[in-house]
Amino acid sequence: MTDTALVLFSGGQDSTVCLAWALDRFKRVETVGFDYGQRHKVELECRHNIRATFTHNFPTWAERLGEDHMLNLGVLGEVSETALTREAEITFNADGLPNTFVPGRNLLFFTLASAIAHRRNLKHLVGGMCETDYSGYPDCRDDTLKALQVALNLGMDRRFVVETPLMWIDKAATWRMAHTLGGNDFVQLLIDETHSCYAGNRINKHNWGYGCADCPACDLRAEGWSRYVSA
């Protein structure tokens, strides 16, 4: 069990890098995705292509890549009113948080992931949360996830480890980590196959990947790429 992991895998850049990070470290790695009625639901379609590319192009990782799980969390769309679950302009709320924040999302994701991990006998729960280059979401903070790990271990009577390999690095460093893990082929996979754009744009392709080039997710990804290639 100690060499096993479950990766919260959305089909985005960060979670794909985290999947490669886990495959580089653990002998058996499974993935879980969540359909919560997100506007950029196209990311869920990208997951299949990414896993298939891992299987065909990265044989060492393919040997370790296990089962994929998909959960329907439409209830998140019902209880929240955000720009990720409604057709609304992306703005900032009065509290300073962007209206793309989905309250309780990561808390619920990890809770359900731990239930799967309990059943599948998996130890490490891996997520792409980051407190360096991010949109200010409180459920991405290191303190939040450390507290959640304690609660999960008490509630499940297990010793899960919540892993956040991107927590203290910026987006440029995430691109560099990708290159270290899988070289140019993996960086190209991130450009061609992953999806981060909140608008769900898979039409316009840029040197950093597909997206509207206007939403906060695209801004972070593009700025990180620019710093990465200019370093």
- The chain-wide mean pLDDT, for the chain, equals 91
**% pLDDT > 90, the chain:** 73
pLDDT recorded at residue 94:
66
What would the CATH number be for the domain defined by 4-190?
3.40.50.620
pLDDT tier for residue 192 given thresholds of 50, 70 and 90: very high
pLDDT recorded at residue 90:
67
End-to-end CA distance of the chain: 39
Phi and psi, residue 168, nearest 5°: -115, 20
Give pLDDT tens digits for 196-217: 998 889 999 999 999 999 988 8
User: Which strand ranges, in their side-by-side order, compose the sheet holding 161-163?
Assistant: 65-72, 28-35, 4-8, 124-126, 161-163
Give pLDDT tens digits for 129-187: 998 876 678 888 999 999 999 999 999 999 999 999 999 999 999 999 999 999 999 99
191-to-41, 221, 226 alpha-carbon distances in Å: 18, 10, 13
**% pLDDT > 70, the chain:** 90
CA atoms within 13 A on the CB side of 149: 17
Q: Is residue 33 packed enough to be buried (19+ CB in 10 Å), middle (13-18) or exposed (0-12)? A: buried
DSSP for 43-89, please give it: HHHHHHHHHHHHHHH-HHHHHHEEEEEEEE-HHHHHH---TTTSS--
| pLDDT at residue 89 is higher than 70 | no
pLDDT recorded at residue 98:
67
pLDDT tier for residue 38 given thresholds of 50, 70 and 90: confident
CA-to-CA distance for 160 and 6, rounded, in angstroms? 10
CA 42, distance to chain mean position in Å, is 14
Q: What is the H or E stretch that residue 31 is in? A: strand 28-35
* Location of structure tokens 């450390």: 146
Give pLDDT tens digits for 95-121: 666 666 777 889 999 999 999 999 999
Per-residue pLDDT, averaged over 184-191, amounts to 98
Residue 40 in tokens? 């950029």
CA atoms within 13 A on the CB side of 87: 0
Specify the pairing of strand 124-126 against strand 65-72.
unpaired
Crossing angle for the helix pair 13-23 and 42-57, nearest 10 degrees? 30
Residues 6 or more apart whose CB falls under 8 angstroms from that of 50 comprise: 11, 16, 19, 189, 193, 194
Residue 111 in tokens? 């809770």
Domain ranges of the chain: 4-190
pLDDT recorded at residue 29:
98
